[in-house]
Amino acid sequence: MKQYNFDEIIERRNTGALKTDVLQARYGNPDLLPLWVADMDFRSCEKIIEAMQKRCEHGIFGYPVATEAYYLSIINWLKNEHQWTIQQEWLSYIPGIVKGIAFAVMHFSNPNDKIIIQPPVYHPFRMVTQMHHRQVVNNPLIEENGRYRMDLDGLRKLIDKDCKLLILANPHNPVGITWDKETLKELAGICYENHILVIADEIHADMAIFGNRHFPFATVSEQAEQNSITFMSPSKTFNIAGIVSSYAIVPNDSIRQSFYNFLDASELGDGTIFAYTAIEAAYNQGKEWKDQMLRYVEANIRFVDAYVKEHIPAIQVISPEASFLVWLDCRALGLNQKELNRLFIDQAQLALNDGEMFGKEGIGFMRLNVGCPRSILDKALKQLTQAVHARK
């Protein structure tokens, strides 16, 4: 069995990488250590690279078609990894999950309708809703001793006739929860009874760690299956976000026909040569790479947790149950959000995600991306330790 090298440092600056090449524009310093946007600094699975190279060597890049092998790669992956049996007709390519969410917002709601989100949560949920002139309804997660849960009683109370959609992060981003089956089932019942369509962003579905399990929303009950659109992709798992390899799954016949007709009207359901190639290679040949990558990420999270406990005990590491994003509770430092950002950017020379971008519930928090070689994390944590101690 091949052992993959996740310690390899690969220079990404000046390659058109968002993570590195917008540091000056976004943070005011091009030399920060970038530990923010959710892609990894690991070379992607060699089987994907080989498949892409083989496709390039063919030399003709005409109009592609989704093949039977492409569909089977997704169907088999979902069955083997998540015990979810789906039908080929349920599937459609989409040009990105945030775009898919936007399409669903556009098609299944009207201006001034209400759309429910559960902050602190992935900020495009709010931005897409607002920019399409819908009303954001916040149903914040409940935090208890560094753990989070859904406020389902609060959800029941805030629902009214204008609520049309709920956007679900499953697993949750940024707090890294793999939602349990009972919670998802109760959520499905509430939404079904109130005619609220659930849009499930499951981009981190394949990255459950530390023995946790991901339950696709549509699998938890008949109500969930018949009242949801699920968006998935190998992009986070295999570090191929730039290839745009996302897809939708819609079991309900009428919802599917309506939504896919909307996509087809603008040819939004047509994939690219490299998207089809990458998905098929990832799902057919990438499991060993994925498993080794997740073990490395687990070790990185343990490393961060142990280091922070020893050297910066005022910061609490909220270890995720899925993915490579770590939620840092910095409230005990006693800083306001502007001061907290200045500490990380100006003193520690680090670029993380400002917790407030995920909603006011993220004030006092920062999001750390540990999808990188451990030597980079070690350097970052030493810089942060020095910055925190210099304030005393």
Spatial CA neighbour of 78 closest among 245, 232, 213, 226 = 232
Q: Where are the beta strands (DSSP E) in 160-264?
A: 163-169, 197-201, 228-232, 246-249
Show the 3-state SS of 63-82. CCCCCHHHHHHHHHHHHHHH
- 9: in domain: no
Same domain, 313 and 264: no
Same domain, 184 and 249: yes
- Confidence (pTM): 0.97
pLDDT in tens, 262-284: 999 999 999 999 999 999 999 99
- 54: in domain: no
- Number of domains, the chain: 2
Same domain, 261 and 207: yes
Burial tier of 197 (Cβ tally within 10 Å: 0-12, 13-18, 19+): buried
β-bridge partners, 94: 246
Same domain, 329 and 231: no
Percent of the chain with pLDDT over 70: 100
Percent of the chain with pLDDT over 90: 99
- 139: in domain: yes
pLDDT band at 168 (very low <50, low <70, confident <90, very high): very high
- DSSP helix, strand, coil percent of the chain (3-state; round to 5): 45, 15, 40
- 10: in domain: no
Residue at a domain's end among 243, 262, 285: 285
Same domain, 83 and 158: yes
Terminal Cα distance for the chain, rounded = 50
* Secondary structure class of 176 (helix, strand, coil): coil
At residue 1, does pLDDT exceed 90?
Answer: no
Q: How many CA atoms lie within 13 A of 81 on its CB side?
A: 23
**CATH classification at residue 37:** 3.90.1150.10
Same domain, 253 and 142: yes
At residue 185, does pLDDT exceed 90?
Answer: yes
pLDDT in tens, 90-127: 999 999 999 999 999 999 999 999 999 999 999 999 99
pLDDT band at 146 (very low <50, low <70, confident <90, very high): confident
Per-residue pLDDT, 145: 86
pLDDT in tens, 211-259: 999 999 999 999 999 999 999 999 999 999 999 999 999 999 999 999 9
Same domain, 88 and 229: yes
Strands 142-144 and 135-138: unpaired
At residue 384, does pLDDT exceed 90?
Answer: yes
Spatial separation of the C-alpha atoms in residues 208 and 170, rounded to whole Å: 11
- CA 233 to each of CA 77, 230, 250: distance values in angstroms, whole numbers, following the listed order: 11, 10, 14
pLDDT in tens, 8-49: 999 999 999 999 999 999 999 999 999 999 999 999 999 999
Residue at a domain's end among 253, 285, 317: 285
Same domain, 235 and 373: no
Same domain, 137 and 229: yes
**CATH classification at residue 126:** 3.40.640.10
B/e letters for 254-293, b = 16+ CB within 10 Å, e = fewer, are ebbeebbebbeeeebbbbbbbbbbbbbbbbbbbbebbebb
pLDDT in tens, 290-332: 999 999 999 999 999 999 999 999 999 999 999 999 999 999 9
- 146: in domain: yes
Contact 229, 251 (CB under 8 A): no
- 367: in domain: yes
Same domain, 243 and 364: no
Residue at a domain's end among 264, 285, 306: 285
pLDDT in tens, 69-85: 999 999 999 999 999 99
Same domain, 231 and 177: yes
* Secondary structure class of 344 (helix, strand, coil): helix
Q: What are phi and psi of 232, to 5 degrees?
A: -135, 170
- 194: in domain: yes
At residue 392, does pLDDT exceed 80?
Answer: no
Same domain, 295 and 374: yes
Spatial separation of the C-alpha atoms in residues 125 and 138, rounded to whole Å: 11
Quote the domain boundaries for residue 303. 18-45+288-390
- 175: in domain: yes
* Residue carrying the six token digits 């052992």: 3
Spatial separation of the C-alpha atoms in residues 367 and 35, rounded to whole Å: 8
